[in-house]
Amino acid sequence: MMVSSVKKDTRYELRDTDISGLSDLYFPKEDEESHVRDVADVLLEMEKITPETYERLRKQSSARTVETASDTETLLLEAGLCSKDDILIAKAGLCGLEFQHIKPENIQKEAFEKLDIDFIKESAICPVKIDGETLVLATSEPENVFAIEDVKRQTKMKPKIIVCSQKDIEAVCDALADEKFVHGLDDIISDMADVEVVQEQEDDLEDLEKMAGQSPVIKFVNYLISNAIREGASDIHIEPKDKFTKIRCRIDGVLFETTQSSLKMHPAIVSRIKIMANLDIAQRRLP
């Protein structure tokens, strides 16, 4: 009986008895290391940067111990290799989103009012329109998932994200904030017409204080102060005339008329300001 001899293949023989796993057997070369697709890859595909620039970016990135997306963006912008819009378009492509320019006239007011304007500015997320149960949001920071989740929590609506520039968001906020401010003043003045008016007499101080504490009066005085701050005014002048009260603000040393109110509301407006300043509303001869 013949027994055939089988030649032993020693190529895969483990000679080092200290080997504990596959990680001890495989050492990838530098060019085999995994690379996460980023903005630079998309810009290269868009032909916004050259292959030579791409390779230079990769070398500069590998020289850092810790690399972030902002590092690559900063290098590109500082070198003038592409624009901010180019980077945002690349970000949108990286996230599978659409890039759009937004304008104030294209913003649905009902959607814009879903979020506080300070939150919009801080989070760089601007509501664009409502589509059924979906709220379309434009953002210059599509990677900020925490802010997007915050919007979802606040509005109870499903967010749909598009990418836009920060400049567009700021322009929308400036335009719609002014418009909202003007419309808000019209509503306040309309509400003030329903306020029960009392005469400014010594025996009516309790009623005058009550009148000054009514919501339309509070809102109107708050508006006057907020508007003065927005305009950079140094002081506010509240001047009773024959048929109305004139409101003026001093801006850069010049007095400008900002609005008017009913003359019958003058005592309540003045009393409200005195209450805010902890002054005695019974005192007539002092501010």
Per-position pLDDT tens, the chain of length 287: 444 444 444 444 444 445 444 445 445 555 445 667 888 888 888 888 888 888 888 777 666 644 556 677 888 888 788 888 999 999 999 889 999 999 999 999 889 988 888 889 999 999 999 999 999 999 999 989 999 999 999 999 999 999 999 999 999 988 887 665 555 555 666 665 555 554 444 446 566 666 666 667 888 888 888 888 878 899 999 999 988 899 999 999 999 988 888 888 888 888 888 888 888 877 766 55
- The pLDDT value recorded for residue 206 is 60
- The pLDDT value recorded for residue 200 is 46
Planar angle of CA 85, 90, 92, nearest 5 degrees = 95
Number of DSSP helices (H) and strands (E) in the chain, helices first: 11, 6
**Tokens matching residue 5:** 């001899």
Q: Which residues 6+ apart lie within 8 Å of 170 measured at CB? A: 121
How far apart, in Å, are the Cα atoms of 56 and each of 39, 177, 249? Answer: 14, 44, 57
- The pLDDT value recorded for residue 75 is 80
- Quick one: which of 151, 120, 118, 116 has its CA closest to 135? 151
Q: Beta strands 158-163 and 235-240: pairing type?
A: unpaired
230 alpha carbon, distance to own chain's centre: 18
150 three-class SS: helix
Report phi then psi at 281, rounded to 5: -70, -15
Planar angle of CA 233, 235, 241, nearest 5 degrees = 115
Amino acid at 46: M
- CA atoms within 13 Å, Cβ hemisphere of 149: 4
91 three-class SS: helix
